[in-house]
Amino acid sequence: MIRKKRFSVAFVFTTCILVALTLALGGCGNSGAGKTYKIGVILSLSGPSAPLGQSEQRSIQLLEKDLQKGDGINGGKVQFIIEDDESDPAKANVAVNKLIDQEGVAAIIGCSSTGSTLAIAPTVKKKQIPCVAMAAGTAVTQPTEKWLFSVAPSDVLVVQRVLMYFRDEAKVKNVAILHDSNAYGTGGADVFNAQAPKYGVKVVADESYGSADTDMTAQLTKITQTPAQAILVWGTNPGPASIAKNIQQLNIKIPFVASSGIANQKFIELAGSAANGVVFAASRLILPSTIPAGSDWEKAVNDFSSEYKAAYNISIDTFAAHGWDAGNMVVNAMKKAGTESTDICDRIEQVKDYPGVDGVFTYSPTNHAGLKVNALIMVKIVNGQWTQDKPSGGSSK
């Protein structure tokens, strides 16, 4: 009887020790209870790129509220620390150093523009802090850099989709390029110039403008003296909106085709009636009916669209999607990796077939861009509304 009692006591004692060890080890792993996970965010909330950054900010703030209502990151609080780079790459670099050195963030989301993203790239590389950008410039993800990812459809994808449109749908062979002189505009023009011959398209003019310029009639007049059958505009607002007005004033009749840099309502607001007829490449998210029905991607877009609309009483756009996808990409990685920098990068590189809002993402150690060209469609503005520009004779769904 005594031996049996001693065995029972020993058994209970051993069980308690094992439970305690299990809890302790669990707390050393993915448990974030009591922790605050700091994530730095660099956006263009003022200056020429503000229409991008403001949409992205709304998404980040919406995600933060969702995380506060829920479990955060494994029970820990999530804090997004937002800095405005004022659309200035130099100020973006000041912001990234502040976020890393003073705030102690574990990861960076940013920037809104290609120029600012490239400005902070050397810093995140040197200090080995994961960064998920919302900029489309090819140089952001090519060549692949361990610490830098993007959720925006890259220039390479957008150029590919535009060239497919010129060759297969618009039947255009001669194109004039009018691009912003910043990193985004120059990068897009360079990729287009390099890829155009593969699609039987000839660049007959290559003109640029400054990000703050409001009158591009001189460049457009030069273009009218070439055999151009379409004008390709590569930039973000307000420049392309000014170009649309200038084209209307000069009564230029050849098509205005643009990059995804105008994929928000701000372009229509700024260009007014001159926006009608403009065609541009964009993610399918802005026309959800073009997304495969019943897919996880469709659900992700519909859920985000409903939540965003309820919170702000405005519809989502491409840049809102960038903010949402970038935020979730970092948060999801940190749920598995905690705050360890290399582990966060590894987790993002392991993402496969993740249904975001911009599209379905798959990353790898050699692919930090994530999306494929089928995430994009050509959109035409008709009576101030986005519509799908379908090829004659059928759907491009």
Q: Are residues 303 and 285 in the same domain?
A: no
Q: State the total domains in the chain.
A: 2
The answer to the question of residue 142 being in a domain is: yes
Structure tokens at 324: 């949402």
From the list 307, 322, 314, the residue with the least C-alpha distance to 41 is 322
CB 133 within 8 A of CB 150: yes
Q: What is the pLDDT of residues 161-172, one digit of tens each?
A: 999 999 999 999
Structure tokens at 144: 């692949």
Q: What is the pLDDT of residues 64-74, one digit of tens each?
A: 999 999 999 99
The answer to the question of residue 365 being in a domain is: yes
CB 202 within 8 A of CB 175: yes
The answer to the question of residue 321 being in a domain is: yes
φ/ψ (deg, to 5) at 151: -105, -10
Does position 358 have pLDDT exceeding 60, yes or no?
yes
Q: Are residues 272 and 299 in the same domain?
A: no
* pTM as predicted: 0.87
The answer to the question of residue 5 being in a domain is: no
Q: What is the pLDDT of residues 270-282, one digit of tens each?
A: 999 999 999 999 9
pLDDT at residue 151, rounded to an integer: 98
Structure tokens at 161: 């989709």
Q: Could you list the residue range(s) of the whole structural domain that residue 357 is in?
A: 36-152+293-372
The answer to the question of residue 21 being in a domain is: no
Q: Are residues 384 and 251 in the same domain?
A: yes
Q: What is the dihedral of CA 245, 250, 254, 256, to 10 degrees?
A: -20
Q: Are residues 328 and 234 in the same domain?
A: no
The answer to the question of residue 299 being in a domain is: yes
φ/ψ (deg, to 5) at 380: -120, 135
